[in-house]
Amino acid sequence: MAGQRARELRADRLDRCPGCVAEPAREKSYVRVTTAKGGRCADGRPRDIVDDVSGFVLPVGWDGSCLSERVIADPPAEEADVVWGVFSYYEIQPNCKVSLAPEDVAASWGTVVRACSRHWEMDEVCGTLDMMCDPPLAPGFRDCLEYYGDEAVPECPASHPELVQAHDGLTGCTACGFEESGARETTLALTFYADEGCTQPIPATGLEVERICYDLPPGSVVRSISARRTVERTATRTAVGGEQEGEIAPGEVVNLCCGPKA
């Protein structure tokens, strides 16, 4: 989940800084796999693409297991020259995420709220191959609207009737960070099949940069796909920060209008 933050609902006096936690970042995964005709791969990206053929419907955080559900281009086509995939994030993003320890926050402040944004590509059937869709909520999360104005919060709409007010972070403590030794090396590879059960592989040649692009043999019809992730090396992460450097106080108030609990 992107944009994870710890928030609190009570502004009691704080007597210590919460600890910092360093966790591995979400594994890189595909958010789009599309077949196209009339092009070729160059520098890891499709070149001279003429027509999209189909887009595979990927679940959020796809684990690489066999998939065959597709969105077909209109007018429909089958034969493809190129398959290309888009990752959920780029290599320049850190291998680790840091946050305040939830148990420390709850002990000092009260209820902890974790927030994340919903913004994914091609994870359910959309009107077109390039349309953006929101996935279903993850377990334990509610659909909320954040109010960004500086004035008093207006009445919440009927669709999101409950006002939830929280503090975003705190002041008086050094920011959480992490130290990393070594580097994480992960490789990903797509496999394409001529049947819907992932039993008849199609030979393909591919290049990997920010995206993975594969050239297919002439006349290929890709009806299912699978992905393999291989972790070549892991890194060691240690959380740092969370030291008191001034008077501890809760951060700014965040106003959320939330829908019913699931």
Per-residue pLDDT tens over the stretch 232-259: 666 678 899 989 999 888 888 889 999 9
Give yes or no for a contact between 29 and 61, defined as CB atoms under 8 angstroms apart: yes
Q: Which of 57-66, 207-216, 233-242 has the lowest mean pLDDT?
A: 207-216
Between CA 114 and CA 3 the distance in angstroms is 9
Taking 60 as the threshold, does the pLDDT of residue 13 lie above it? no
Percent of the chain with pLDDT over 70: 75
Predicted local confidence at residue 98, as pLDDT: 86
Contacts of 155 (CB under 8 A, 6+ apart): none
Whole-prediction pTM = 0.61
Going by C-alpha positions, the residue among 81, 115, 98 that lies closest to residue 2 is 115
Predicted local confidence at residue 11, as pLDDT: 43
- The pLDDT-based confidence of 71 (bands split at 50, 70, 90) is confident
Predicted local confidence at residue 158, as pLDDT: 92
Contacts of 124 (CB under 8 A, 6+ apart): 57, 133, 135
Between CA 82 and CA 42 the distance in angstroms is 11
- What are 138's two structure tokens? 């993850």
Taking the alpha carbons of 60, 65, 69, 75 in that order, is the dihedral positive or negative? positive
Predicted local confidence at residue 10, as pLDDT: 42
Taking 60 as the threshold, does the pLDDT of residue 62 lie above it? yes
